[in-house]
Chains A and B, each alone.
Chain A
Amino acid sequence: DPRIGKERLLYGRFLHITDIHPDRLYKEGSSIDYVCHGKEPSKKRDYAPKFGKAMAGCDSPVDLMDHTLRWIGEHLKDKIDFVIWTGDNIRHDNDRKNPRTEFQIFEMNEIVAGKFQALFGNQNTEDPRDFDVDIIPSLGNNDVFPHNLFAMGPTLQTRELYRIWSNFVPQEQKRIFSRSASFLTEVIPGKLAVLSINTLYLFKANPLVDNCNSRKQPGYQSLIWLGYILDEIRARGMKVWLSGHVPPIEKNFDSSCFHKFTLWTYEYRDIIIGGLYGHMNMDHFIPVDGKKARKALTRQV
């Protein structure tokens, strides 16, 4: 690794983790019916257990997050090359008595980023950018305030986000990150990269996204960034994984954004290995058709 002047052993493995949603208000033994936020349970079935309960609707107890990271540290950390971590690092905004604040969102994101840093950072150096395992975070729709709404940078939110992720985002991308909240990490220098794509600029639930056709739209600007980056990766003979929070499928993206994004993945099929996303909480895959995307765009024109 020429960045740190050290040899690195590669394992040919990496981790994808997503949607941790830790909730500091989660209280063991409280009522599930009241999102596990402290109210006494009415019956035994309503009891919020220590590590959380599947399908109950509560967010993650902090214990679940901490033990998950501990388990990864003990069983996987020494066997992987990098971590793709696709966002949503705070509870949902579904408790009317306890609405989330912008401060809480940033604070929890900072706490979770700190835990990743502690787990995967090199403990034998004072350089906070020296990682045993590279981490590539991306922005979730719940990591912004109000949820889903994220304006094109530079804004207070992109600045704050850079501060929180400053050890994960390569320094030379600080200015571009402040615009796009997206970045590139070389996980194997000169060979393999991972793109962290801010999918909120393409997400139809973001009230600031109308389409990806108007040149002032954040999605349009974001796709221009993507194009330059993919061109450079191709020129360097590298390969790349795409990553982000909201999956680029019709259900989630504005149609012009969906078709254009799909077309980029199609036309750069010589370098793009695949895409890893979160948000939907279900393990599945969606094939997207590049030729169909071009036809749809041609029709639009």
Chain B
Amino acid sequence: EESHKFGQDEEDQFDELFLQSADAASEVHLMGASPVGKETYMKSVRKTIYQKIHDKLEEIVDNIEIGKKRKKKKTTKPKTLDELSERYSIVNIGGSIVPTFNPGFRVWEYNITGLEQGTQIQQFKPWNEFFEDLEKKLQTEFLDEVAIEGVESNKVRRPDKTIPKKKPESIPLGPAYEPQLFSPTKFVQYFADLKEINDEYYGKTDSGNDNSKAAKEAFKFQVEYTSEDKPYPMESLLVKDFLKLASDLTQDNKLWEIFKERAFISSGYDED
């Protein structure tokens, strides 16, 4: 059992290292548009990133149950899904047109209800004045920093302006966390089935049709899936919905297979 565990840890470490150090750019440079190591990458996303989210969601459930027994136990860990989701933001990575897999793109839908009744645009400094000021600030900032770094005796640590201040608690959460104006509500993922398109095109040109007409008729995008589709329909596209999905994907291999199929734009890609 111990040796099995050891092996498991090693594998986890490998996955973590793969995620952190594999250099996607050099892969691309060498291999062009070829899909290289994409399944290994997805596997490591599932085992490290999504699994951690699942574990944290489990802790929330556990905390709730423990909380019922020992009400006053203090913890800094998030107690609810909302609290947990506030920690996260979502990096959405799109499928490409280049046929690494099939070509694909996405149409996002967002809430515009109430926009027309919204408050009038407040008067602010015109953008050109803002950017003129910003240009001066950035110029000064850069020159100051270069000058200071050049002075060896200067030991005073200046605040790092690339570390933001904490969000004031009084400011409410934005459209990524709570349904409101501009919250993303749905997406539709389109793809072009290149095999089907090329087959149709060559079928038409073989029978003597005009090439450009045949191309127009054959080439089409179709809906690959939407965020509302089974087997993992998302109620909305708030951060918490993505966290729930990430967690579900670690628990259900069938879901995972479909998620991967969609990640590889229904191309049937299989690393093995």
| B interface, size bucket | 35 or more
> A167 interface residue, CB < 8 Å from B?
no
Contact assessment for B86 and A269 in the assembled complex, using a CB-CB cutoff below 8 Å: yes
> A279 interface residue, CB < 8 Å from B?
yes
Known A55-B101, A223-B162, A282-B93; contact A147-B29, beta-carbon cutoff 8 A: yes
A50 touches which of B23, B101, B201 (Cβ 8 Å): B201
- Chain B residue numbers with a CB within 8 Å of A297 are 163
Report how far A262 CA is from B90 CA in the complex, Å: 10
> A122 interface residue, CB < 8 Å from B?
no
> A97 interface residue, CB < 8 Å from B?
no
Contact assessment for A17 and B97 in the assembled complex, using a CB-CB cutoff below 8 Å: yes
Known A270-B173, A278-B93; contact A205-B23, beta-carbon cutoff 8 A: yes
List the B residue with the shortest CB-CB distance to A283.
B95
How far in angstroms is the closest Cβ of chain B from A175?
Answer: 5
Report how far A148 CA is from B10 CA in the complex, Å: 32
Contact assessment for B97 and A179 in the assembled complex, using a CB-CB cutoff below 8 Å: no
Contact assessment for A225 and B99 in the assembled complex, using a CB-CB cutoff below 8 Å: no
- Chain A residue numbers with a CB within 8 Å of B122 are 190, 236-237
List the B residue with the shortest CB-CB distance to A57.
B34
Hey, what's the 0/1 contact readout for A1-25 against B, CB within 8 Å counting as 1? 0100000001011111111110000
Report how far A21 CA is from B100 CA in the complex, Å: 10
> A213 interface residue, CB < 8 Å from B?
yes
> A290 interface residue, CB < 8 Å from B?
yes
Known A80-B107, A176-B131; contact A21-B239, beta-carbon cutoff 8 A: no
Contact assessment for B138 and A227 in the assembled complex, using a CB-CB cutoff below 8 Å: no
List the A residue with the shortest CB-CB distance to B121.
A190
> B258 interface residue, CB < 8 Å from A?
no
How far in angstroms is the closest Cβ of chain B from A1?
Answer: 11
- Chain A residue numbers with a CB within 8 Å of B203 are none
Known A12-B112, A15-B105, A16-B94; contact A94-B32, beta-carbon cutoff 8 A: yes
- Chain A residue numbers with a CB within 8 Å of B24 are 205, 251-252, 279-280
Known A50-B198, A50-B215, A267-B164; contact A283-B128, beta-carbon cutoff 8 A: no
Known A239-B174, A269-B167, A272-B89; contact A192-B194, beta-carbon cutoff 8 A: no
- Chain B residue numbers with a CB within 8 Å of A88 are 96, 98
How far in angstroms is the closest Cβ of chain B from A23?
Answer: 9
> A103 interface residue, CB < 8 Å from B?
no
- Chain B residue numbers with a CB within 8 Å of A225 are 134, 138
> A156 interface residue, CB < 8 Å from B?
no
Q: Given contact pairs A283-B106, A287-B49, enumerate 12 new A-B contacts (beta carbons under 8 Å).
A: A13-B108, A14-B108, A16-B92, A50-B202, A94-B30, A220-B162, A224-B138, A228-B134, A239-B182, A266-B89, A269-B176, A273-B176
